[in-house]
Amino acid sequence: MNKAELIAVLADNAGITKTQANATLDAFVDAVTKTLKKGDKVTLVGFGTFSVSKRAARTGRNPQTGEAIKIKAKKVARFKAGKELSGKL
């Protein structure tokens, strides 16, 4: 499912226009992004938790040359499904 399909389903289920559903989805993504940037997490009970993980710097290999390269440390977004969501899958 892509964003356009998700917006269509949201609009149909909530009885709102696609424009309103798009604005709502964009606001949700923006709110989650801002919260994660601050280092906090977003928990939706029954659905799951969005959080930030830190990846340590490490040494990798260039697959073409086999040469060792340094990979910088970075922060990555993480999602852990809640019990209710996991149960429905």
Instruction: Give the CATH number of the domain where residue 82 resides.
Output: 4.10.520.10
C-alpha distances in Å from residue 89, one per residue of 12, 38, 42, 73, 86: 23, 31, 21, 33, 5
pLDDT in tens, the chain (89 residues): 999 999 999 999 999 999 999 999 999 999 999 999 999 999 999 999 999 999 999 999 999 998 999 999 999 999 999 999 999 98
**Beta bridge partner(s), residue 70:** 59
Query: Which pTM value belongs to this model?
Result: 0.77
Give me the pLDDT at residue 8, please: 95
Q: Are residues 47 and 19 in the same domain?
A: no
Give me the pLDDT at residue 1, please: 94
Give me the pLDDT at residue 81, please: 95
Q: Are residues 33 and 54 in the same domain?
A: no
Q: Are residues 33 and 50 in the same domain?
A: no
Q: Are residues 12 and 48 in the same domain?
A: no
Number of structural domains (the chain) is 2
